[in-house]
Amino acid sequence: MKKLWIAGLLALIGVVGITAAWYGNRQVNPIAFAIHAGAGTIDPQAMDDATQEAVITTLDRALAAGYTHLQSGGDALGAVARAVVILEDSPLFNAGVGAVYTFEGGHELDASIMSGRDRQAGAVASVTRVKNPILAAQAVMNDSPHVMLSGEGADQFAREQGLEWVDNDHFNTPHRRQSLERAKAKLMAQASVDQLPLDQRSGTVGAVALDRNGDLAAATSTGGMTAKRWGRIGDSPIIGAGTFADNQSCAVSATGHGEFFIRYNVAADICARVRYLDEPLSKAADWVIGRELKGVGGDGGVIAVAPNGEVAMPFNTPGMYRAAIDGEGNKVIAIWQAPLVERQLNR
């Protein structure tokens, strides 16, 4: 049954155009784009056809939004913001309207964005009222002298910038409420946070982009950890841990158990290996995620793009929601190891 609807979905998913090409005697720089919507213990047997189809459709829509922006000459920052807004507006993923609950039954959201051209960055942490935290992070970068704002101050700043405010219950969803009750039961039974299922400890959305000017950008947004307490903040709003971009190396957005990503400065570490060890992006990302992080018990994955259009999407968990179009026009949408959608775009 799944093969039938996947085949039908393949026919509906549009080819979104031309990547690197020659125009006369002038070579146009490649563009590349990738998104993720979280890594974790994603059980294929527990996911029904309708949910899987909704996930693929939403990933494809977010991918197309960012990629078509790049095709039209748009900048990398605009591409990652557009895609992340779409993912934040989907209840399927742990960001925006799909955010998990805190222990007290509310929602505290984090986001960050970074430009590889000049290393400008913006982030918000523990916001409760702004509808799209990634837009608040972008406003911090563009319209303030700061890199990170948090809590009520960040919400107020976002409102002063004209961003949409919502009541905190805007982020309520029944399946996240059920996850909270299960997590609280485990915690009340003296289980540690590390004993919670991975999907309750992680979950993030993000995007990375390479534009026609050779500029890189990365963006990440999350609802954090299910049943988090005491104002816990993970890696997603931390520049260098969950988000990093540098035109000399790569752009990275991470997802996973945030404490490990902070301790090992994962996003920046991958880019440092590319820049200073001259490693290919895929080798650098695979080493950090598959060896360094996994070796200390850190679960998760990343999406990354290099200045040459190479895309890497390694993860050390059973699955990671992800999609990409690299600099050669290779398109992939996947949840588990094997792609669900894979094709070469017309060039």
Residue 204: active-site member: yes
Angle CA 66–68–69, to nearest 5: 65
Give the C-alpha separation, 110 to 136, whole Å: 10
* Confidence at residue 119, expressed as pLDDT on a 0 to 100 scale: 98
User: Could you state, in order of their start, the residue ranges of all structural domains in the chain?
Assistant: 2-16+30-344
Computed from CA positions of residues 218, 91, 187, 291, in that sequence, does the dihedral angle turn out positive or negative? Answer: negative
Per residue of the chain (347 residues), give pLDDT as tens: 444 445 444 444 443 333 334 333 344 689 999 999 999 878 888 788 898 999 999 999 999 999 999 999 999 999 999 999 999 999 999 999 999 999 989 999 999 999 999 999 999 999 999 999 999 999 999 999 999 999 999 999 999 999 999 999 999 888 787 777 777 677 666 555 454 454 544 479 999 999 999 999 999 999 998 888 899 999 999 999 999 999 999 999 999 999 999 999 999 999 999 999 999 999 999 999 999 999 999 999 999 999 999 999 999 999 999 999 999 999 999 999 888 777 777 54
How crowded is residue 46: how many other Cβ atoms within 10 Å of its Cβ? 8
Binding site feature residues: 232-235, 255-258
Distances (CA, A) of 305 to 177, 251, 267, 347: 35, 5, 12, 20
Architecture in CATH for domain 2-16+30-344? 4-Layer Sandwich (3.60)
> Which two three-digit tokens encode residue 333?
């949408």
User: What's this model's pTM, rounded to 2 decimal places?
Assistant: 0.88
Q: Which of 19, 204, 222, 317 is catalytic?
A: 204
**pLDDT recorded at residue 282:** 98
Q: Residue 258, SS3?
A: helix
Binding site, annotated residues for substrate:
232-235, 255-258
Tokens standing for residue 2:
């799944």
